[in-house]
Structure 1
């Protein structure tokens, strides 16, 4: 069994045009030294979620190439509240819809939930809890085009048509 590796992936660029790098947790795919399956959804790298298959390194601005979506949605929750309280309130509800908490750090929670649960259900669960935490916001990490943040990527439609 392969060991977890930390891959330095470019999450974006700061005002000085220096790369902002996030260490992404992944497991090498046996027989493919440049392919990795993500163990967790990243905090800042957009377009990826746990279980996704990537080629690393790749000669592009992010340093990786997405080869296959796992079907998981990356959900990023940012908060000025006590993250432990938010974690206690939100994580059990995410787990009830078969989601997992990937990251719990000061100010941020990252979850992975399979797209088959449905966007509406996921949004209802998150919105209901965050009403009690008004200084918190959430975003999908791999639903919208990283360039404009608005255009749906629609990768989930490929999954739905293959079933």
Structure 2
């Protein structure tokens, strides 16, 4: 699989141009890798800046700079200071997105992606964890079919990543 894509053409020499790259987002139930196409901006030395918070790939948010291996795994090289927040639901969230997005925008955040059963937001760390949690917890009370989670705050084992301690 060619993990580097630009308008359908394979190209690793696209410095300064926006493109999609396939990030490894985990494994399927049968153990096969699952990939998510993510908008990136190529930087020097094979690094990329994430343009929009992914909906599946964990540990990163918009603005982060990453080093990406040929197998789609990635390592964060620098943080932009944004929180990745995801909403997942058993029912369509399409009609609910404008309601929640209006609240997120008051925090300085934005909706970066949406699918039938999920939303991905980027919110600046400066909004504060308490304010973010208030907005999303309130939303879940009103829409109990949905759950929310941080996409770049906890590791796979549930321990805090603590990257924000270096930024604050």
TM exceeding 0.5: yes
1:12 is matched with which residue? 26
Is 1:157 matched up with 2:168?
A: no
Please report how far the alpha carbon of residue 95 of structure 1 lies from its aligned counterpart in structure 2 after TM superposition.
Answer: 0.3
- The CA RMSD over aligned residues, in Å, is 1.6
Structure 2 matches for 1:30-45, cutoff 5 A?
Answer: 32-45=44-57
Taking structure 2 as the reference length, the TM-score comes to 0.86
SS of equivalent residue, structure 2 residue 60: coil
Give the match for residue 120 of structure 1: 130
Question: 43, 57, 67: which is aligned to 1:55?
Answer: 67
* CA deviation after TM superposition for structure 1 residue 81, in Å: 3.1
Structure 1 window deviating more from structure 2 (76-85 vs 3-12): it is: 76-85
Among 61, 85, 99, which residue is 1:89 paired with?
Answer: 99
State the distance in 1 between where 2:47 and 2:166 align.
21
SS of alignment partner, residue 102 of structure 2: helix
8 Å CA contact retained: 1:14, 1:20 = yes
Q: Is the 8 A contact 1:27 1:38 kept in 2?
A: yes
Over 3 Å counting, the alpha-carbon distance change for 1:82 and 1:14 in structure 2 is closer
Paired residue secondary structure (1:45) = coil
Deviations 1:72-105 (A, max 9, x none): 0000101133312210210000001100100011
Moved more, 100-109 or 9-18: 9-18
Name the structure 2 match of 1:2. Answer: 16
Deviation at 1:20, TM superposition (A): 0.7
Larger deviation, residues 62-71 vs 109-118: 62-71
1:69 is displaced (CA, Å) by: 0.8
Aligned 8 A contact 1:73 1:115 in 2? yes
Unmatched segments (≥5 aa) in structure 1: none
Give me the TM-score of the superposition, normalised by structure 1: 0.88
CA distance in 2, matches of 1:87, 1:79: 12
